[in-house]
Amino acid sequence: MASDVIVAGAGVAGLTTAVVLAERGHRVRVWTRSPTAESTSAVAGGLWWPYRIAPEERAGAWALHSLAVMTELAQHPQETGVRRVPGTHAGPAPHELGPWARRVPGLRAATAGELPPGHGRGVRAHLPLLDMPAHLHHLHRRLAAAGGRVVLRPVLSLARAAAEAAAVVNCTGLGARRLVPDPSVHPVRGQLVVVENPGIDEWFTADDAGRADMAYLFPQPYGLVLGGTAQEHVWDRTPSPCTAHAIIARCARLFPAVGRARVLAHRVGLRPARPAVRLEAERLPDGGVVVHNYGHGGAGITVAWGCAHEAADLVEGVAPVRP
């Protein structure tokens, strides 16, 4: 009989890890302080893209693993919430993106006619774009079908959780700052605006590395998602009207019809950033086993499946089998 595993955290990292473990035959419980609908994952824009994440080599491998899984999921978009959508990333040339870009099918340099005003270079690709509420529902259903379950129970101590299972997988995101504790974990505040889609059917992002504000547009079934911000060490989850106005203005300069679109919703999420993702096993002083899987920043969706499979491998490499 496979091991009992507790996964701490019910965002996309936690649920994906729980699904992988459950589908490998482990008895999985997800402990979470709050429902998935209240997680940062639920308000994310949803584009697969290796965004500000380290270590580069491992992150590239995790991202490509996830790309392969999401490409399969995109064959059933109504069920999984995953679609493959064409779009443009303005700024870099293909060779400037990193080794992972060479393995993305169809990624190529954008032509001048494919770039909006003010951008002279960029790349084009068909990439997974996730309707996150729908995708998270899919993960919940898949976990339940594999025998796993989600419990509204905060993890107050990794040692206490480890006493109740053969292994604990720590996918608590920002919660790891207190729980581990790991003071290197910090928020990167992201604000979004959802508007009625004026007819935009492709995604667009711009390379604004190092800036706290940026422009991106993601067409979703529920509306057009406009972004955004990347404010380091800001904990405020309250949408700012001034920031929302600036987001709309930036996007309207690129696509004027956006400026006339009716606003449907405002969203704020706190990306769980860290200098590098922590994905490793730790044996606690009392003998308990913890596998850490946190610190994904704004690329949690992009690396979710790659990290989940590596976390599951670590669990199976270190956790004792309990009858």
Burial profile 225-235: b = 16 or more Cβ within 10 angstroms, e = fewer: bbbbbbbeebe
Nearest residue to 67 (alpha-carbon basis) of 52, 81, 84: 84
132 and 259 part of one domain: no
**In terms of domains, do 68 and 138 share one?**
yes
Percent above pLDDT 90 for the chain:
90
Query: Does residue 119 belong to any structural domain of this protein?
Result: no
> Are 194 and 266 in a shared domain?
yes
**pLDDT surpasses 70 at 320:** no
Under a CB-based contact definition with an 8 Å cutoff, are residues 117 and 255 in contact?
no
Hunting for tokens 């507790």 — which residue is that?
6
pLDDT over 80 at 257, yes or no: yes
Q: Looking at residues 252-271, what average pLDDT do you find?
A: 97
Among 1, 54, 24, 127, which residue's Cα sits nearest to residue 279? 54
The answer to whether residue 145 is domain-embedded is yes
Domain count, the chain: 2
192 strand-pairing partners: 227, 267
Is residue 113 one of the residues assigned to a domain? no
Model confidence over 200-244: pLDDT tens digits? 999 999 976 556 788 999 999 999 999 999 999 999 999 999 999
Same domain, yes or no: 287 and 259 = no
CATH number for 181: 3.40.50.720
Q: Would residue 251 count as lying in a domain?
A: yes
Position 321 scores a pLDDT of 55
Given a contact cutoff of 8 angstroms between Cβ atoms, the answer to whether 147 and 156 are in contact is: no
Rg value, the chain, Cα = 19
Average pLDDT over residues 38-42: 95
pLDDT of res. 117: 84
Indicate whether 4 pLDDT > 80.
yes
Distance CA 39, CA 33 (A): 10
- Asked if the structure places residue 105 within a domain, the reply is no
pLDDT single digits (tens) 84-124: 999 999 999 999 998 999 999 999 999 999 998 888 999 99
Specify whether 158 is located in the same domain as 224: no
Residue 121 lies in a domain: no
Q: Tell me, what's the pLDDT at 52?
A: 80
Whether the pLDDT of residue 191 is over 80: the answer is yes
Q: How high is the mean pLDDT of the chain?
A: 95
Confidence band for 1, pLDDT divided at 50, 70 and 90 = very low
Q: Which CATH number fits the domain that encloses residue 258?
A: 3.30.9.10
Asked if residue 201 and residue 66 are part of one domain, the reply reads: no
Query: Are 268 and 279 members of one domain?
Result: no
Fill in the DSSP letter of residue 222.
T
256: pLDDT strictly greater than 90: yes
Average pLDDT over residues 152-157: 96
Q: Are residues 288 and 178 in the same domain?
A: yes
pLDDT in tens, 48-81: 999 888 898 999 999 999 999 999 999 999 999 9
Say whether both 60 and 173 belong to one domain.
yes
> What pLDDT sits at residue 208?
66
Mean pLDDT score, 15-25: 98
Range of the domain at 28: 4-97+128-185+274-318
pLDDT-based confidence at 323, cuts 50/70/90?
very low
Other Cβ atoms within 10 Å of 323 Cβ, number = 3
Start-to-end Cα distance in the chain: 6
**Residue 229 counted as domain residue:** yes
Mean pLDDT on 273-289: 95
* Phi-psi group of 141: left, alpha or beta (phi > 0 → left; psi -120 to 50 → alpha; rest → beta): alpha
